[in-house]
Amino acid sequence: MQIAQNSVVAFHYTLTNDAGEVLDSSEGRQPLTYLHGAGNIIPGLERQLEGRAAGDKLNVAVSPEEGYGEVQPQLVQEVPRDAFQGVDNVEPGMQFQADTQGGPLMVTVTKVENDTVTVDGNHPLAGQKLNFDVEITTVRAASEEEVQHGHVHGEGGVEH
Ligand code: ZN
């Protein structure tokens, strides 16, 4: 069975950047399971899995435009240390949920200087070209309920 709209796909992957560093991998875990055509995974990966089948191994390169987007400089902001009340020690690498005009946004602290904290709301993988080593393990048709919900139920999916 080939991957098409409303296929439920499970695959193992290793994600590396252009420097060859491993950023993420499903090794030692359950394969990643998603509903094809529902925007569950980044567009560039979804598009290149189309038409593939269980057992296929492939290498998929994804540009930032089809991945996590380009880095948006306006998402890097300086905020006063006072904005972090209740947090004893604000340090680079900490992540917070920020309320923005566009809704909640996960931001990462990148710099702390005196009373000023620099936060970055870009996805950590924004602006990066991504290389996925993919091995497709299973492909099946989605149930009607899965299609309605826009996600996978059962193993590797949502339990509810
Ligand atoms: Zn559901």
Predicted confidence band at 102 (pLDDT cuts at 50, 70, 90)? confident
CA of 73 to the centre of ligand 1 (A): 36
CB count in 10 Å sphere of residue 74:
7
> In this predicted model, what pLDDT tens digit does every residue of 5-26 receive, in sequence order?
999 999 999 999 989 999 999 9
For ion ligand 1, residues whose CB falls within 5 Å:
149, 158
How far is C-alpha 117 from the geometric centre of its chain's CA atoms? 26
Q: Nearest to residue 61, comparing CAs of 15, 5, 123, 10?
A: 15
How confident is the model at residue 140, as a pLDDT? 98
Residues 96 and 119: beta-carbon distance below 8 Å: yes
Is pTM beyond 0.75 here?
yes
Between the CA of 153 and the centroid of ligand 1 the distance, in Å, is 6
Q: What is the 3-state secondary structure (H, E, C) of the chain?
A: CECCCCEEEEEEEEEECCCCCEEEECCCCCCEEEECCCCCCCHHHHHHHCCCECCCEEEEEECHHHCCCCCCHHHEEEEEHHHHCCCCCCCCCCEEEEEECCEEEEEEEEEEECCEEEEECCCCCCCCCEEEEEEEEEEEECCHHHHHHCCCECCCCECC
User: How confident is residue 124, by pLDDT bands cut at 50, 70 and 90?
Assistant: confident
Q: Tell me the pLDDT band of 148, cut-offs 50, 70 and 90.
A: very high
Q: What separation in Å is there between the alpha carbon of 36 and the centre of ligand 1?
A: 15
